[in-house]
Amino acid sequence: MKGKWAAGIPPRNFTWVIKDRLAMSERPGGFAPNHRKVRRQEEIIWLQVQGFTRVVSLLPSGHNLQAYEERSLPNVHFPLPASGDVRAVLTDLYRDLHARLTAGEQVLVHQEELGDRVSGVVAGYLLWSERLPTGPQAITVLEHMTGHPMGPAGRELVAVSALLAPVSASSGADGSPRSA
C-alpha cells in the first residue's frame, strides 16, 4: 500500500476519552447497512499506525473480530445485551479495561455506532474507575466529548455502573486485581 492510504483512515466518530490511552468510535468499517470491507481494512490499518494495542467490541455479535485477527490487531469481545441485566458484563469489561490501561495499552472501545450505549459504557467506566466522582459529571463529560446529549439508554448504563463496586474496592493499591 502506498501514499496517503498507507496510514489508513480514522474510524467514524472517533473520540479520545483519555488522550492517547482510551478512545471510542463506531465499528470500524461502519454500521450494518453502511459497512464496507475496504473501509474496515483502512480503519484497522489506521488504528495500528496510531499505536492501538487492543480493540474492545461491545457488539452483541462477533462482527469484525475475524478482521482484527487477520490484521493481527489484538481484540476482546464483551457482548453488551440490548436488554436485561448488564452488571456482570460491565464488571468484567471494567476490570479488563482498567488492567489494560494500567498496563499502558492504548484501547479503542466500539459498538455498532457511537451512540448512547457506548457513551454510557465509557462514562460508566470513568465513574467506576473513580476518574470522575459522580454519574452526572461522567454523563456531562461524555456529552461534551461527543457533542450530543446522552439519552435514557446511556444514562441507565451509568446508573448501573454507579452500583458496581468501584475499582478501589476490587483492586490493590497498584490497580491490579486483588486475590482472595
Cα of 149 vs its chain's centroid, Å: 18
Is residue 173 a part of any domain in this protein? no
pLDDT of residue 20: 97
Is residue 148 a part of any domain in this protein? yes
Is residue 177 a part of any domain in this protein? no
2/6 Cα distance (integer angstroms) = 5
List the domain range (segments joined by +) for residue 106: 11-165
pLDDT digits (tens, 9 = 90+) for 74-115: 999 999 998 899 999 999 999 999 999 999 999 999 999 999
Phi, psi of 46, deg, nearest 5 = -60, -45
Is residue 172 a part of any domain in this protein? no
> What's the CA angle centered on 146, arms 67 and 141, to 5 degrees?
120
Nearest of 176, 155, 164 to residue 88 by alpha carbon: 164
Is residue 5 a part of any domain in this protein? no
135/15 Cα distance (integer angstroms) = 20
**Residue 32 pLDDT > 80, yes or no?**
no
Residue-averaged pLDDT of the chain: 91
Residue with cell 474496592: 169
Which amino acid, residue 160? Answer: V
Question: What's the domain count of the chain?
Answer: 1
CATH number of residue 32's parent domain: 3.90.190.10
Nearest of 44, 42, 161 to residue 108 by alpha carbon: 44
162 φψ region: left (φ > 0), alpha (ψ -120 to 50), beta (else): alpha
The bridge status of strand 22-26 relative to strand 15-18 is antiparallel
**Residue 174 pLDDT > 50, yes or no?**
no
Continuous H helices in 14-72:
37-49, 65-70
Is residue 26 a part of any domain in this protein? yes
Is residue 113 a part of any domain in this protein? yes
Is residue 180 a part of any domain in this protein? no
> Edge-to-edge strands of the sheet including 54-57?
15-18, 22-26, 107-111, 54-57, 75-77
